Structure 1
Amino acid sequence: MKIFKNIYIWAIVLAGALSLAACSDDDDQPSVSPISTGTVSDKDGNEYKWVRIGNLDWMTENLRCDDPFYEDVYNPKWTNKFGDGLVLTGTLEDWQKWYAEFGNYYTWEEAVANAPEGWRLPTDDDFKALERELGIKQGDLDKDGWRKGASNLMAQNGEGTCLHFVFGGEICNYSYSQIGLYHQYDYGYYWTATDVEVNKEPAAYARMITPGIDAVNRLVVLQEKHYLSVRYVRDAQ
């Protein structure tokens, strides 16, 4: 069944990350602080903080415009052929708290389209520029899979980089017929604007980080049935 395939794939992914963690050294981390800070608003008027790292301004919160996922469980984008909507467990209060911390989940097309004026969904190269600033070696930036470094600095909140990348998992087709939140708290999963094709299917580069492991996964994700977190970036003003 598909759910077991997903679990198997995640086990392989995590094993690779753990092998990197075993040889990581916090003393290798550079000390990085924002050059500048400010705020930006989305199309719905929600306000977000941003920080300047290197030559780019990065939002420090996940996008949360449009209807919250928990209020729109029968949205056609994730309703299956049987008419079943998004599978969620918990109370309304649980999901309101979740939404405040982890934001909303978006298709790749939505992620591109929702950028505030003057901002953009970060490209694969934008993420590489950030990863270079945060200590990933130049020779590793173009590699696929887990690259040692940067993740701990990406997750810093209230100190250091203040980027506060969080671990909200994703919404995806995690079993044969159900779509719901997958790997909550296990990883943060973020779209990039760099689209590609995999076996003639639309896909895009993404970034994955997971708590306690100082590495960033550069990978390609099929656009269909994957709904990821979103941050925006702009060239320093």
Structure 2
Amino acid sequence: MKKFIIILLGIIVYCSCQDDNNSNRVKPEVSFSDFQDSRDSKTYKCITIGGQTWMAENLKYRSPRGSMDGCYTYGEENMRAQDIVINQELWADSIRAGITRGEFEGTVGTMKLADILVLWLDYFKPDSYINQVENSYGATFPDAVISLRRIYNNLYPQALMEVSKQFFEKAESTNGHYSSKYGFLYTYEGALQAVPDGWRLPTDDDWKKLEETLGMSVSEINILDEWRGSYEGDLLKEGEQGIGFNAGYAGARVYGSHMDGGNFYNKDVNAYFWSATRKVESDTVDLGITRILFLKEDRIMRSSSKLSAAYSVRCIKE
């Protein structure tokens, strides 16, 4: 019985300490607004704190070329050049339209060049088709090769977009439609390109100002690659303890492959955010300065990362 009372008292003291810690947290004044991105009509909740206006949601803009623009949903594969294939039917229709326009005039022996081009549509795919025509008749009909390359280049962006869409939809079908909840993961360059007009990728100093507003001490604010502060990270999280910044645990696409061969990690455990600030590691290596939040940690990690990793983006208003 005595042992039980001691344990009970310990629990009460612990809970009281926790309540005291929570009660000592001074939440800064905030206000909220909305922003609609004209590119895709998505509307974001925004938070103004300490003179800064941040998006209170991760950026959800999908860059047109997906992974080739450094934009990923969770688990999305990288596109490769060999994955992008021109639609054979569109290719054939475009060549026939070129013939109608008179772009492939001339004869080869007793056959019209146009008839040869139509015949070869059944034997060669677009990539090898141009090479075949160039090797066989390029010296005699250089303008025909130029026309074929123009047709190919006109069709290529559509083919790229179609493959990008397929890769995105494949990943979304297995990741619980991640992007609708967590937004997209961007490489450093992808993040810079994805920010809407009137907003920007926050600098390291922007993050520091936010952290200082939340109560982080000046003595800790410049520490790199360590957890800093006391409860400031908790204020950025979702839930009653937060201020409405609502950082979710989106995980990341980390650089390189690991033991299981993948590179997407820590969904529902960690949140990773880019800053626009870079750190020169050597003559050939630049790193980006980041922020990391952890499910079981109240503090904030100020860290560095290779620019090829893909993290969440919180935009700050210009």
| Band of TM-score, shorter chain | 0.7 to 0.9
Q: Which residue of 1 aligns with 2:268?
A: 185
AA aligned opposite 1:121? L
What CA distance in whole angstroms lies between the structure 1 residues aligned with 2:194 and 2:236?
Answer: 23
AA aligned opposite 1:39? F
Residue 230 (str. 1) matches residue 313 (str. 2) = yes
Q: Matched residues, percent identical?
A: 23
**1:63 Cα offset (Å):** 1.1
After superposition, give the CA deviation of every residue in 1:19-64 in whole Å (9 maximum; x if it has no partner): xxx9x94344212342342224263322211010111101011112
User: Per the alignment, do residues 174 and 30 of structure 1 end up closer, same or farther by CA in structure 2, a change over 3 Å counting?
Assistant: farther
User: Greater strand share, 1 or 2?
Assistant: 1
What CA distance in whole angstroms lies between the structure 1 residues aligned with 2:196 and 2:306?
Answer: 25
After superposition, give the CA deviation of every residue in 1:151-210 in whole Å (9 maximum; x if it has no partner): 111013477521001111101234168343211222100000001222331211000011
For structure 1, which runs of at least 5 residues remain unmatched after alignment? 1-21, 80-85
What CA distance in whole angstroms lies between the structure 1 residues aligned with 2:271 and 2:257?
Answer: 16
User: Per the alignment, do residues 100 and 52 of structure 1 end up closer, same or farther by CA in structure 2, a change over 3 Å counting?
Assistant: same
For structure 2, which runs of at least 5 residues remain unmatched after alignment? 1-17, 67-71, 84-166
Q: Which residue of 1 aligns with 2:15?
A: none
The match for 1:152 among 219, 224, 234 is 234
The aligned runs of 1:23-102 (5 Å cut-off) are 25-41=21-37, 43-66=39-62, 67=66, 69=73, 73-76=77-80, 92=173, 94-96=175-177, 98-102=178-182
TM-score (norm 1): 0.75
Residues 156, 162 of structure 1: 8 Å contact kept = yes
User: Per the alignment, do residues 191 and 25 of structure 1 end up closer, same or farther by CA in structure 2, a change over 3 Å counting?
Assistant: same
Q: Which residue of 2 aligns with 1:218?
A: 302
Corresponding residue SS for 1:113: helix
**1:73 Cα offset (Å):** 2.4
**1:140 Cα offset (Å):** 1.1
What CA distance in whole angstroms lies between the structure 1 residues aligned with 2:26 and 2:265?
Answer: 32
TM-score (norm 2): 0.57
What CA distance in whole angstroms lies between the structure 2 residues aligned with 1:41 and 1:91?
Answer: 22
For the aligned residue pairs, the C-alpha RMSD in angstroms reads 3.0
User: Greater helix share, 1 or 2?
Assistant: 2
The match for 1:203 among 272, 287, 290 is 287
Corresponding residue SS for 2:186: coil
Q: Which residue of 2 aligns with 1:170?
A: 252
User: Per the alignment, do residues 59 and 42 of structure 1 end up closer, same or farther by CA in structure 2, a change over 3 Å counting?
Assistant: farther
Q: Which residue of 2 aligns with 1:8?
A: none
Corresponding residue SS for 2:234: helix
- Structure 1's consecutive aligned runs of 4 or more residues displaced over 4 angstroms after TM superposition are 157-160
The match for 2:219 among 133, 139, 147 is 139
**1:91 Cα offset (Å):** 7.5
Corresponding residue SS for 1:139: helix
